[in-house]
Structure 1
Amino acid sequence: MQARRLADTRVRVAATLGDPTAPERAETIAEEFARAGEYADAAYAFWLLEMLRTDDVDAVYALESATEAFTLAHLQEPRREVGGELVAVSKRLGRRRRGGEVGRRTERQRVATGCSASADPPQWWSPAGSTWHPQPCSATSPDATSC
């Protein structure tokens, strides 16, 4: 855990200094945190990744990942903030319907009490190589409060 946090700090310093490798390094460390079940650290690392990405499509991946990780970490306030950014980016991309869906899901989760997410990776956890691919949930999922 300490090694990942040190690597995360180094990436943040590199990003501040304008290092062109910072986005790839940020993605790597975010995925490492997620695989280790360190969801709060993963969420903040994915949020950093979004800030480093210049392409809105890449930013959507980072924001969706951050949103899911904040949910698993039970951190509602930053999750709402990231959810708002995700809605804005989705709308910029012309995904108005998707932006509305994200906003409604964020609001449902805001008012839901408790979260049944466990320390084990959720069912939508599907690492492909070294990439974390969170899948969005729907209101009809069996456990909508942890989506």
Structure 2
Amino acid sequence: MSQPAAHMQIGEVAERTDLSLRTIRYYGEVGLVVPSARSRGGFRLYTEADVGRLLLVKRMKLLEFSVEDMGELLSLLDRLAEGAEAEAEHAALLHRLAGFESVVEERRAALRRRLSVAEEFGGLLRDQRRPFETQPASEETERR
């Protein structure tokens, strides 16, 4: 006999995911991560699977996926996990998943380019600062 899923209140979920309570509620309102249950007092209750889904949404958000794209991808992943699709439908789902993978790779490449620019810019700033660090202190600076 399997154990029922342990439930967590939203505060614990917020700590575990490093998401605000408002963000978690919003994701529920738009249907991305709906609480698995509610307590008798009406508190939202979440499972480990819900936490995993929130972490997935958090990653998608960092890669600037829209709420609509997040919903589409989550639905796609749910349908693949259920595995009840006909072979042709399964192939179509995998094709759509490959499309999302391509988008992720494009965004990773863009982030790498931005990081490279930031590193180069930081180097330029260090180069501008160095000549002033090696000059002897002025008399005014020495008097302080």
If asked which structure has higher relative contact order (CA below 8 Å, sep 6+), I would say 1
TM-score bracket, normalised by the shorter chain, equals under 0.3
Q: TM-score, normalised by structure 1?
A: 0.27
More strand by share: 2
Which one has a bigger Cα radius of gyration?
2
Question: Greater share of helix residues, 1 or 2?
Answer: 2
